[in-house]
Structure 1
Amino acid sequence: MLIPITITDKAQLEIKNIINNKNIPADYALRVGVKGGGCGGMSYALGFDKAKEDDQQFELHGIQVLIEKRHVMFLMGMEIDFYEGSEARGFTFVNPDIPKRHDVEE
């Protein structure tokens, strides 16, 4: 199966840190999705969730990932990164086809 996203090394470390230290249930996986559309454009979402019937499931670097089938086309080629600076820290979504960075909306 073609995996639509990539996860940078920094993001992998942060995701695994969250899994190991935030009491994420063992049967939960990282859910990657999209929200919105319309005038404001699309925003991206990350969270932990149980698998649902309409999900595509795959594993990236030991991380179980879920994406709703209807979201896959919007996430194709997306790179999830983790930014840590003096002013802010958090996950970012970078699509090489779109020059603008998109921050996660939780």
Structure 2
Amino acid sequence: MISLTSSAVEHLKSLIAEKQADASTGLRLRVEKGGCAGMQYVMGLDHSTPEDTVQSQDGVSIIIDAESLSFLRGSQIDYVDSLSDAGFKLTNPNAARSCGCGTSFEPQAA
């Protein structure tokens, strides 16, 4: 499914605590049309619905809607904090190419 690095897990725990969110809050990961490569990642804290796939790892949850799941299988989420950038970063094996911004990708042809 989707894996998280230890850095991503720790930052997500910290973010949930900072927002004083309840235990059912997780990181929603969605794919939608847009961005400079055709599709873009959208992330934010949210609660799951019955239609979602929820994956738990080390005490945090990733929430993915059914339409986005096929674009994200096998992906890894990391949290990077460098001099030039900070945030969650995706490594997606389903992307034919990714934009330099890191939030946009072109899916592989079916």
| Aligned partner letter, 1:70 | E
Task: Indicate yes or no: 2:90 matched with 1:93.
Answer: yes
Q: Gapped runs of 5+ residues in structure 1?
A: none
Distance (whole Å) between structure 1 residues aligned to residue 80 and residue 36 of structure 2: 26
Shift of 1:33: 1.2
Query: 1:56-67 residue pairs with structure 2 within 5 A?
Result: 56-67=53-64
Distance (whole Å) between structure 2 residues aligned to residue 70 and residue 46 of structure 1: 15
Alignment partner, residue 31 of structure 1: 28
Instruction: State TM-score, norm by structure 2.
Output: 0.77
Name which of structure 1's ranges 36-45 and 71-80 shifts more when overlaid on structure 2: 36-45
Shift of 1:39: 6.8
Alignment partner, residue 77 of structure 2: 80
Shift of 1:38: 8.5
Alignment partner, residue 8 of structure 2: 11
SS in 2 for 1:65: strand
Alignment partner, residue 102 of structure 2: 103
Shift of 1:65: 2.1
Distance 1:38 1:44, change over 3 A: closer
Q: Can you list the C-alpha shifts for 1:35-81, whole angstroms capped at 9, x where unaligned?
A: 21587321112211121131012211111221111211110111111
Instruction: State TM-score, norm by structure 1.
Output: 0.79
Alignment partner, residue 107 of structure 2: none
How many residue pairs were aligned? Answer: 102
How high is the sequence identity, in percent, across the aligned residues? 29
Query: Over aligned residue pairs, what C-alpha RMSD do you find?
Result: 2.4
Q: Gapped runs of 5+ residues in structure 2?
A: 105-110
Distance (whole Å) between structure 1 residues aligned to residue 102 and residue 36 of structure 2: 17
